Structure 1
Amino acid sequence: MHKRFIRATAVAAVGALALAGCSSSGDEAEAPEGDAASTSDQTDLTIGVFNGWPEGEAVSYLWEAILEEQGYDVELEYADAGPVFAGVAGGDYDVTLDGWLPMTHADYMTEFGDDLVDLGSWNDDAVLTLAVNEDAPITSIEELADNADAFGNRIVGIEPGAGLTGATQDSVIPTYGLEGMEFVTSSTPAMLAELSGAIDAGENIVVTLWRPHWAYDEFPIRDLEDPEGTLGAAEGIHSIARTGFEEDFPQLTAWLQAFEMDSELLFSLENAMFNSDATQSDYPEVVATWISENQEYVDSLTATE
């Protein structure tokens, strides 16, 4: 069993309780030394992080390191995507860095949009997928129904409330006639654990997944073609803040609105954090090392006035 799944499962368990323990982010604090001290920004910041979404976890740790160097006091709070959106809308979190638009998280934006501020996309290469082991007998989702037995008649999904889960249930399954297959949903760590186990056992498996994700480097897997376009086109990964964020954090707002990170850089950060023996307690050190190796890029993220 890969060490990261032990870590991910623990994170998921803690994250389910995150909203109960998250702190309010609206309090003013005495500004420490650093750039935050020379602006009107508040210095206490809480970032909501989705359980099991590595791109958001990676950039949240990156921004935590950057902002603490600038004089902010940053907390990362884990929860599933729905509770994070609710928490941002309710002011329990200040911002989340992993909003997939226009499709995956559209329902959350519709539900909570009046209390959210979209600060823009920092990566435009996000795609939803169905992935299989590299030596699976099919190459397209349209072949899956006729080969369901080869996959144990199961599609392994993630959280029931996830946008990817909704797209699979509402679009992929009816379009390709997969109603006879069992669609299993639980959590992203559970899906990854099943994927790992099937790969180790040499068994076929089909899972709901997305790019960018470290699993594509960790496991011999590939995407199934989606000729009907049921999972949509590439999406943007957006920073989503609470209302009032722009007034409370004008400098940080400018930085996040200008934030861009291409997939190659993102993959390198994810690989450093997740394709190693690092545990969550190691992430600050791992990120610090990555920053030192990409200093020019990192410095550019806070160059916007």
Structure 2
Amino acid sequence: MMNLKLGLSALGFTVATSAAWAVESTDPIKLTLHDWSGQLINTKIMGSILQEAGYNVEYLQADYIAQFAGLKTGDLHLAMEIWETTGREALDEATASGNVVNVGETGLMAIEEWWYPSYMKDRCPGLPNWEALKDCAEEFATAETAPNGRYVGGPVTWGGFDEERVEALELEFEVVHAGTDAALFAELESAYQRKDSIVLWVYVPHWAPAKYDGEFVEFPPFSAECYSEPSVGVNPDLAYDCGKPRGPIWKAAWSGLQEKWPGAYDIIEAYNINNDEMSAMVGKADLDGVDIDTVVADWMETNKDRWSGWISK
């Protein structure tokens, strides 16, 4: 019985192995699933490759930040997307415990920031400079937030410190969190079609910046000190008075994984994928309605020589 206070729920199956050769342990390697398409695709590609190498794989639903509790205890084994932009603090804390290891970059490079459609520049001159938002918050207001502007944030579980940033930069905005990834981009689609005012959380890799004409807000440059030292940044009294960090998306694992499944660990370490191919796959799933398992199977077929090399190393 899993001893977790994470609200984890098994998806009801353990994938059987099909490879003919022996593996170090037939116990399932437990991979976490979250609530956005790119992470589901990334994780299921990794799981499919491990299956091809002969390993059993089990997928478990877990909250993005709360999953670290399970990784520390070994109730979870692998998380495929820890974003530098929102998860680095949790990753560093977990690795410092000695119970979690950083298995390296996925190859994906992350941006997560406030984003607006280009038509908003006519209503809010001065964008993309963040200071323009001080003068035109009412342009982003809704009936529920007026006179404050509305910023549509990601699900609360994603983190991101948006409320802290609004307070520290003295922006007259209310942060309204979308309940799901799909709801976030439904807000964008609805506003864009009607040319309604909107500023929201957009991330890369994703199809949205390619489909819609727009820009990221340019906040004061991120620094680690900006997040930890109130005296650093444009507001001498509060932290988070800067933009979000940008950088790699990492793979994180239970520290016992390498000892129990050394061959699997080597495959996980070798695995990499790039922004362009991930954005295209997320577009197939979210825009074209292709089932995620089909998207994954197509990638596996197209890239057989590539992932076979990771297994044979």
Fold agreement, TM-score > 0.5:
yes
Say whether the 8 Å CA contact 1:151–1:205 is kept in structure 2: yes
Is 1:147 aligned to 2:111, yes or no?
A: no
Distance apart, 1:287 and its partner CA: 1.7
Is 1:192 aligned to 2:185, yes or no?
A: yes
Tell me how large the CA RMSD over aligned residues is.
2.9
Q: Which segments of structure 1 move beyond 3 Å, counting only runs of 4 or more?
A: 17-20, 110-113, 217-221
95, 100, 112: which one aligns with 1:116 = 100
In the TM superposition, what whole-angstrom CA distance separates every residue of 1:226-277 from its partner, at most 9, and x where no partner exists?
Answer: 3444234432111111131111110111111122222222223323333312
CA 1:19–1:250: 2 relative to 1, 3 Å = farther
CA 1:181–1:202: 2 relative to 1, 3 Å = same
CA 1:195–1:157: 2 relative to 1, 3 Å = same
Counterpart AA for 1:136: M
Say whether the 8 Å CA contact 1:34–1:71 is kept in structure 2: yes
Is 1:258 aligned to 2:270, yes or no?
A: yes
Residue 6 of structure 1 aligns with which residue? none
255, 260, 266: which one aligns with 1:243 = 255
Is 1:181 aligned to 2:181, yes or no?
A: no
Is 1:160 aligned to 2:156, yes or no?
A: yes
Say whether the 8 Å CA contact 1:41–1:252 is kept in structure 2: no
3-state DSSP class of the match of 1:77? strand
3-state DSSP class of the match of 1:76? strand
- For residues 126-141 of structure 1, what are the structure 2 equivalents within 5 Å? 126-137=110-121, 138-141=127-130
Counterpart AA for 1:205: I
Distance apart, 1:175 and its partner CA: 5.1
Is 1:300 aligned to 2:284, yes or no?
A: no
Is 1:34 aligned to 2:8, yes or no?
A: no
Structure 2 unmatched runs, 5+: 122-126, 142-148, 223-241
Distance apart, 1:205 and its partner CA: 0.6
Higher helix share: 1
Residue 10 of structure 2 aligns with which residue? 22
In the TM superposition, what whole-angstrom CA distance separates every residue of 1:174-207 from its partner, at most 9, and x where no partner exists?
Answer: 45431x2111124343322322221232212111
Distance apart, 1:20 and its partner CA: 4.1
CA 1:134–1:295: 2 relative to 1, 3 Å = farther
Residue 267 of structure 1 aligns with which residue? 279
Say whether the 8 Å CA contact 1:43–1:71 is kept in structure 2: no
Question: Quick one: distance in 1 between partners of 2:248 and 2:280?
Answer: 19
3-state DSSP class of the match of 1:47? strand
Distance apart, 1:86 and its partner CA: 2.3
Residue 9 of structure 1 aligns with which residue? none
Counterpart AA for 1:252: A
Task: Give me the identity figure in percent.
Answer: 22
Distance apart, 1:42 and its partner CA: 3.7
Distance apart, 1:95 and its partner CA: 0.6
Counterpart AA for 1:78: Q
Question: Quick one: distance in 2 between partners of 1:214 and 1:42?
Answer: 37
Counterpart AA for 1:253: Y
CA 1:32–1:194: 2 relative to 1, 3 Å = closer
Distance apart, 1:143 and its partner CA: 1.1
In the TM superposition, what whole-angstrom CA distance separates every residue of 1:154-182 from its partner, at most 9, and x where no partner exists?
Answer: 11111334332x1x233x3245431x211
Say whether the 8 Å CA contact 2:26–2:56 is kept in structure 1: no
3-state DSSP class of the match of 1:130? strand
Question: Quick one: distance in 2 between partners of 1:261 and 1:20?
Answer: 27
Question: Quick one: distance in 2 between partners of 1:263 and 1:186?
Answer: 24
Structure 1 unmatched runs, 5+: 1-16
Q: Which moved more, 1:293-302 or 1:252-261?
A: 293-302
How many residue pairs get matched?
275
Residue 5 of structure 1 aligns with which residue? none
Counterpart AA for 1:57: L
Counterpart AA for 1:108: A
CA 1:227–1:110: 2 relative to 1, 3 Å = closer
Residue 228 of structure 2 aligns with which residue? none
3-state DSSP class of the match of 1:59? helix
Is 1:58 aligned to 2:41, yes or no?
A: yes
Say whether the 8 Å CA contact 2:17–2:54 is kept in structure 1: yes
Question: Quick one: distance in 1 between partners of 2:206 and 2:266?
Answer: 27
Counterpart AA for 1:200: Q
Question: Quick one: distance in 2 between partners of 1:222 and 1:41?
Answer: 48
Residue 12 of structure 1 aligns with which residue? none
292, 297, 301: which one aligns with 1:288 = 297
- For residues 51-130 of structure 1, what are the structure 2 equivalents within 5 Å? 51-52=35-36, 54-101=37-84, 104-113=86-95, 114=97, 115-123=99-107, 125-130=109-114
3-state DSSP class of the match of 2:219? coil
